[in-house]
Amino acid sequence: MPEKPYDHKEVELKWHEQWKDHPEIYSTDAASPRPKYYVCEMLPYPSGRLHMGHVRNYSIGDALARYMWMRGYDVLHPMGWDAFGLPAENAAIKRGRHPREWTLDNIAEMKRQMKRMGFAYDWNREVSTCEPEYYRWNQWFFLKMFERGLAYRKEALLNWCPECNTVLANEQVVEGCCWRHETTPVEQRALVQWFLKITEYAEELLNDTYKTLEGGWPERVLTMQRNWIGRSEGTEVDFTLEGTDTKIRVFTTRVDTIYGATCVIMAPEHPLVDSLIEPDKRDALKAMIDSRARKDPADLEKEGLATGKFAVNPYSGQKVPIWVGNFVLMGYGTGAIMAVPAHDERDFEFCKQYGIAIVPVIRPVDGELADAATMKEAYGEYGVTVNTGQWSGLASADAKKQMSDFAEQNGFGKAAITYRIKDWGISRQRYWGTPIPVIHCEKCGIVPVPEDQLPVVLPLNVEITGKGRSPLENVPEFLNVNCPQCGAAARRETDTMDTFVDSSWYFYRYCDSTNDKAPFASQVANHWFPIDQYIGGVTHAILHLIYSRFWTKVMRDIGLVTTGEPAKNLFTQGMVLKDGTAMSKSKGNIVDPEEMVEKYGADTCRLFVLFAAPPERDMDWQESAVSGQRRFLERVYRFVTAHVDKASIAAGEPTPGDRRALRKLHQTVRKVTTDFDSRWHFNTSIAALMELVNELYEVRNDLTANSLPEVLEKLTLLLGPFAPYASQDLWDQLGRQGLVFRQPWPSYDDELAKEEQAEIPVQVNGKLRAKITVAFGTDAKELERLALAEPKVRAFTDGKQVVKIIVVPDKLINIVVK
RNA sequence: GCCCGGGUGGCGAAAUCGGCAGACGCAACGGACUUAAAAUCCGUUUUCGCGCAAGCGGAGUGCGGGUUCAAGUCCCGCCCCGGGCACCA
């Protein structure tokens, strides 16, 4: 058979047609004795088109899934749609299309693109979060959490984006602005909201980053989560409002410095402030609250208001002035602090500014107490206490412990742990989301929708204007309902859930995606979980990945699953950049994968995103480099098709070409296998395949049936995880049956991979001077003799004194001369 | 300010445990094939100096020190780029 040119359209469309309506070829086999492997890529938002970030993410996951199939695992590899969310409503406003219609069209389009890319998903398990069959379980989980006191309502000052017309979670605020509208400053509004008590799990979420997840998740992600949780050990202490019984509770991590406290500062929103502040300062107070809401916290100047009142320090009995400060946060600790300017940088700045006293009470272990009058900055380190009553002369750490205990014994405080993480506000005044399943009854108050009445279906006949409150308020048949408890006329909750709820548990639904009795059967989830490999962008390092961890722990506590963490291993791939910045519509630097597929083929596209950089690193898109991958595929294709016939002709003795080809082949199998089993540097795997093909071209006239059948078969199989279409087509050309990714992964033999002879560099004083070729295993003595005899070496050693010779057998010789 | 990444040819990168720096690919240049071009195949390409040349020698992984027979890799001190956090008491 003459060599065949590679025509990507012919090859890919042929197999695409055969595969596209057969999701079962990628299905799992419950009856299989093979070990399970669950590989999951983060599900996309159905924006309408696949972008290069998706292609990269899914090419990594797909290569892994195919490899694991070939390694004999029962692989679960599903895909779904994060289908609720704002863009659908924006599209409705802009184009007058219904969010559902728009979303479903986008899903259909992206699914088509994914199939064209050749991603091996079991579409029978597809999950779409905007379908009632899915979101009814969001509601079900909500009710379970409500029962357990994990879902509750409270009024709070919350971030409000005037552009989105909705509340944002703290996590959705980026530098004081909305995460979607980076130039729109977030405002503060007081609203009654639904919250999930993630703080209840703060300790466990933190601990697991040191236990279960350590090693399997990138350290970077774990660090970000630890910072986000922000655990801090300290003491709560009550100061007393002078002349009253009113307590002002403060939180401090440095109770050992409390003798240096020279004022108490309260957050402007603190509930006590209103009664403390002089009436003529009310306006200034309001201005303070508003300006903080509007400004980027980074460039907020410190500002304070003296209340004219005093507080009594429970340790020293001393009275200190009470201030209001714009840098004190209501949402952290107790909303009030004691200011110790001598030992806290921020307090120092504040007290200097307002001429408040500075009293040092900690000296360095080997130094003097600072002089209040001359000190230029706060001393924030630990040290030894000075002038602190009965606790004078103690090490900071001991003083902290003893003084904390003292507060507790005397009833004016206690040791306390504070977290930075706050409860998760899930209410959204939006249409395209999961309705929160509660009813507001005038008599009964908040009444959860009974479980057997789920789902609370999102009505479709709404008008979306993007103005005012939720569109659901204008749908009477949704809004008006009878109270499930007393039967009286009542009102449905119109808030919908944050879409992070949808993505917090979707990967469990894949296991049992059609279950209509439960979110999923525990037994099935317990088989597949934890996910063996979760893959996605580092942009989700905090939000999605902490919420889904929380969700899993709740599911465990209600008895649905046995594991406390959803994913054993996490891989975060780098971004795809163009000209050094992220591709985005506003920058107009989008590369459409579909154009690449049309021009070069899906296989080339996949090879390229894997080849251009190691997967965890950001990669800059350079279209000029794509042609190299295309050329490589052409070379492979021509080589295999040209040698198919020759492979079946009986041959005599193996030629030197046969031996070289086999050696390189086994080296390549080993290299690719190692890359898969360790660090997924597919760029080097593909480079190894290229080296193999280059070598095969070099010896192509000297190849016989002694090597060709094995070479052609293994080369084809090695290509499978990266270029599934070309690989399958070559498999077919080789006259083989079945699906490539269901074949066993090729094996290698270290002996066959071994070079015949070792080429050993010889250095003189660390500089390469010659190379000698010897048999493997040549002993050190002999190597030394050969090296010293080498003319190029002698040019540098003659007339000099040989001080030392380092010999690393089979590796290197270094002769040290003087 | 704090915490992570990263800095290697014209470009993307490789060097996995301290042992030949630049694999593989892009781009460029040259050769073969061709009437010609494309495609393909083969070759050259870190840089400087010497040489007609095969070659020989020096320098070289952001900068400055150090450890070592040997450093892109380890240690100390800086600079630059990217990301995250940022009054969290």
| Distances, alpha carbon A149 to alpha carbons A146, A452, A453, in Å | 5, 20, 21
Distance from C-alpha of A17 to C-alpha of A8, rounded to nearest angstrom: 14
What is the amino acid identity at position A317? G
Name the band, by pLDDT with cuts 50, 70 and 90, for residue A466: low
Distance from CA(A574) to C1'(B72), angstroms, rounded:
23
A538 touches strand B (CB under 7 A): yes
Q: Return the minimum-mean-pLDDT range out of A187-196, A311-320, A652-661, A701-710.
A: A187-196
What average pLDDT does the structure give for chain A?
Answer: 90
CB atoms within 10 A of CB A228: 19
Non-local (6+) Cβ contacts of A615 within 8 A are A56, A60, A571, A573, A574, A680, A681, A682
Give the β-pairing of A36-41 and A74-76: parallel
345-364 on A, CB < 7 Å from strand B: 346, 349
SS3 A190: strand
pLDDT tens-digit map of A665-688:
999 999 999 999 988 999 999 999
Element (H, E) at A90: helix A86-95
Name residue, tokens 């057997």. A452
Q: Is the peptide bond before A530 cis (omega within 30 degrees of 0)?
A: yes
Question: In this predicted structure, what is the pLDDT of residue A682?
Answer: 95
Distance from C-alpha of A563 to C-alpha of A202, rounded to nearest angstrom: 17
In 3-state terms, chain A is what percent helix, strand and coil (to 5)? 40, 20, 40
SS3 A525: helix
A613 touches strand B (CB under 7 A): yes
A457 touches strand B (CB under 7 A): no
CB atoms within 10 A of CB A427: 23
A563 touches strand B (CB under 7 A): no
Nearest to A220 by CA among A547, A533, A714, A617: A617
Average pLDDT over residues A534-555: 92
Distance from C-alpha of A336 to C-alpha of A266, rounded to nearest angstrom: 4
A780 touches strand B (CB under 7 A): no
What is the amino acid identity at position A371? D
pLDDT tens-digit map of A421-449:
989 989 988 899 999 999 999 999 999 99
Q: What is the ipTM score, two decimals?
A: 0.94
694-713 on A, CB < 7 Å from strand B: 694, 697-698
Pick out the nucleotide with least CA–C1' distance to A690: B24
| Distances, alpha carbon A778 to alpha carbons A496, A541, A784, A809, A811, in Å | 74, 52, 10, 7, 11
Torsions phi, psi for A14 (to 5 deg): -55, -50
Question: In this predicted structure, what is the pLDDT of residue A468?
Answer: 62
Torsions phi, psi for A331 (to 5 deg): -85, 5
What is the amino acid identity at position A351? C
Q: Are A382 and A217 in contact (CB under 8 A)?
A: no
A459 touches strand B (CB under 7 A): no
SS3 A599: helix
Q: At what angle do helices A52-70 and A602-611 cross, to 10 degrees?
A: 90
Q: What percent of chain A has pLDDT over 90?
A: 65
Question: In this predicted structure, what is the pLDDT of residue A520?
Answer: 97
| Distances, alpha carbon A210 to alpha carbons A180, A228, A243, A378, in Å | 33, 14, 48, 33
Nearest to A319 by CA among A226, A228, A393, A242: A242
| Distances, alpha carbon A239 to alpha carbons A33, A251, A350, A701, in Å | 67, 11, 20, 91
| Distances, alpha carbon A576 to alpha carbons A41, A108, A397, A433, in Å | 16, 24, 48, 29
User: Quick check: A285 pLDDT over 90?
Assistant: no
Question: In this predicted structure, what is the pLDDT of residue A176?
Answer: 61
CB atoms within 10 A of CB A660: 18
Q: Are A248 and A311 in contact (CB under 8 A)?
A: yes
Average pLDDT over residues A128-153: 97
Question: In this predicted structure, what is the pLDDT of residue A645?
Answer: 87
Question: In this predicted structure, what is the pLDDT of residue A685?
Answer: 96
> What is the rounded end-to-end Cα distance, in angstroms, of chain A?
65
Q: At what angle do helices A682-698 and A602-611 cross, to 10 degrees?
A: 110
Q: Return the minimum-mean-pLDDT range out of A35-44, A284-293, A505-514, A519-528.
A: A284-293
Question: In this predicted structure, what is the pLDDT of residue A377?
Answer: 85
Distance from C-alpha of A178 to C-alpha of A625, rounded to nearest angstrom: 37
* DSSP code at position A727: H
DSSP codes joined into one string, A779-804: -HHHHHHHHHH-HHHHHHHTTS-EEE
User: Quick check: A220 pLDDT over 80?
Assistant: yes
As given in the structure block, the two tokens for residue A468 are 């005012």
The residue ranking higher by pLDDT, A601 or A220, is A601
624-663 on A, CB < 7 Å from strand B: 624-625, 627-629, 631-632, 634-635, 638
Question: In this predicted structure, what is the pLDDT of residue A118?
Answer: 96
A181 touches strand B (CB under 7 A): no
pLDDT tens-digit map of A26-39:
999 888 899 999 99
A235 touches strand B (CB under 7 A): no
Q: Return the minimum-mean-pLDDT range out of A100-109, A121-130, A163-172, A727-736.
A: A163-172
Give the β-pairing of A812-817 and A757-764: parallel
Name the band, by pLDDT with cuts 50, 70 and 90, for residue A557: very high
| Distances, alpha carbon A773 to alpha carbons A656, A752, A756, in Å | 18, 19, 10
Distance from C-alpha of A168 to C-alpha of A179, rounded to nearest angstrom: 9
Nucleotides of B under 7 A from a protein CB: 3-6, 11-16, 19-21, 23-27, 39-43, 56-59, 69-71, 82-89
DSSP codes joined into one string, A197-241: -GGGGHHHHHHHHHTTSBTTB-HHHHHHHHHHH--EEEEEEEEEE
pTM of the model: 0.92
User: Quick check: A298 pLDDT over 70?
Assistant: no
Q: Where are the alpha helices (DSSP H) in A249-395?
A: 273-276, 282-294, 345-354
pLDDT tens-digit map of A353-383:
999 999 999 998 888 888 888 888 888 888 9
Distance from C-alpha of A133 to C-alpha of A372, rounded to nearest angstrom: 68
Q: Are A236 and A413 in contact (CB under 8 A)?
A: yes
pLDDT tens-digit map of A181-218:
777 776 777 788 899 999 999 999 999 998 899 889 98
Question: In this predicted structure, what is the pLDDT of residue A586?
Answer: 66
A332 touches strand B (CB under 7 A): yes
Question: In this predicted structure, what is the pLDDT of residue A170?
Answer: 58
| Distances, alpha carbon A429 to alpha carbons A302, A307, A442, A481, in Å | 34, 38, 21, 19
Q: Are A383 and A362 in contact (CB under 8 A)?
A: yes
As given in the structure block, the two tokens for residue A67 are 């490899």
Nearest residue for B21, CA–C1': A768
Give the β-pairing of A177-178 and A187-196: unpaired
User: Quick check: A815 pLDDT over 70?
Assistant: yes
As given in the structure block, the two tokens for residue A90 are 């924006």
Q: How far is CA A772 from the centre of its chain?
A: 50
Distance from CA(A811) to C1'(B50), angstroms, rounded:
33
As given in the structure block, the two tokens for residue A500 are 């992070």
